[in-house]
Amino acid sequence: MTQQPTAPTTHPAGAELVRIVNCRQAYHKESATDLVVLDGVNLSIRSGEIVGLLGRSGSGKSTLLRIIAGLLPPTAGEVIWKGRKLTGPADGISMVFQSFALFPWLTVQKNVELGLEAQGIPPAERLKLAEDAIDLIGLGGYENAYPKELSGGMRQRVGLARALVVRPDLLLMDEPFSALDVLTAENLRTDLVELWAEKKLPIQSILLVTHNIEEAVLMCDRILIFSSNPGRVAHELQVPFEHPRNREDMAFRQFVDRIYALMTRRAPVVSEADMTDPDLQRTEITADAVALPPLPINTLVGMMETLAADPLHGRADLPLLASRLQLELDDLFPLGESLQLLGFAELEDGDILLTPEGMRFVQSEHETRKHILWQNMLHNIPMVRTIRAVLDERPNHRASAERFRDELEDSMSPDYARQTLQTLIGWARYAELFDFDEEADQLFLDDEAE
3-state SS, residue 20 = strand
The amino acid present at 9, given as its one-letter code, is: T
- Give CA–CA dist 264/318, Å, rounded: 9
DSSP letter string, 333-353:
HHHHHHHHHTTSEEEETTEEE
DSSP letter string, 84-141:
EE--SSPTTEEEE-TT----TTS-HHHHHHHHHHHTT--HHHHHHHHHHHHHHTT-TT
Nearer to other proteins, 416 or 444 (CB): 444
Nearer to other proteins, 85 or 148 (CB): 148
Is the separation of the CB atoms in 431 and 392 below 8 Å? no
Beta carbon of residue 292, minimum distance to other proteins (angstroms, whole number): 19
Q: Work out whether strand 398-400 and strand 442-444 pair parallel, antiparallel, or are unpaired.
A: antiparallel
Nearer to other proteins, 226 or 444 (CB): 444
Q: Work out whether strand 222-227 and strand 232-238 pair parallel, antiparallel, or are unpaired.
A: antiparallel
- Give CA–CA dist 141/130, Å, rounded: 12
Nearer to other proteins, 10 or 396 (CB): 396
Comparing C-alpha atoms, which of 33, 36, 48 is closest to residue 77? Answer: 36
Beta carbon of residue 152, minimum distance to other proteins (angstroms, whole number): 12
Nearer to other proteins, 68 or 239 (CB): 68
Beta carbon of residue 66, minimum distance to other proteins (angstroms, whole number): 7
Beta carbon of residue 223, minimum distance to other proteins (angstroms, whole number): 24
Comparing C-alpha atoms, which of 337, 368, 340, 372 is closest to residue 354? Answer: 340
Nearer to other proteins, 213 or 387 (CB): 387
| Half-sphere exposure of residue 209: CA atoms within 13 angstroms, side-chain side | 24
Beta carbon of residue 435, minimum distance to other proteins (angstroms, whole number): 8
Beta carbon of residue 88, minimum distance to other proteins (angstroms, whole number): 9
Nearer to other proteins, 117 or 181 (CB): 117
Q: Which residues contact 318 (CB under 8 A, 6 or more apart)?
A: 260, 264, 332, 336, 347, 350, 351, 352
Nearer to other proteins, 84 or 366 (CB): 84
Beta carbon of residue 440, minimum distance to other proteins (angstroms, whole number): 6
DSSP letter string, 254-269:
HHHHHHHHHHSTT---
Angle at 151 between CA 150 and CA 153, to 5 degrees: 115
Nearer to other proteins, 202 or 358 (CB): 202
The contact set with other proteins (CB under 8 A) reads: 66, 69, 71, 89, 91, 93-95, 97-99, 101, 103-106, 110, 114-115, 117-119, 146, 148, 162, 166, 396, 437, 439-440, 444, 446
Q: Which residues pair with 174 in a beta bridge?
A: 209
Beta carbon of residue 232, minimum distance to other proteins (angstroms, whole number): 24
- Burial, 355: exposed, middle or buried (Cβ in 10 Å; 0-12, 13-18, 19+)? middle
Beta carbon of residue 448, minimum distance to other proteins (angstroms, whole number): 12
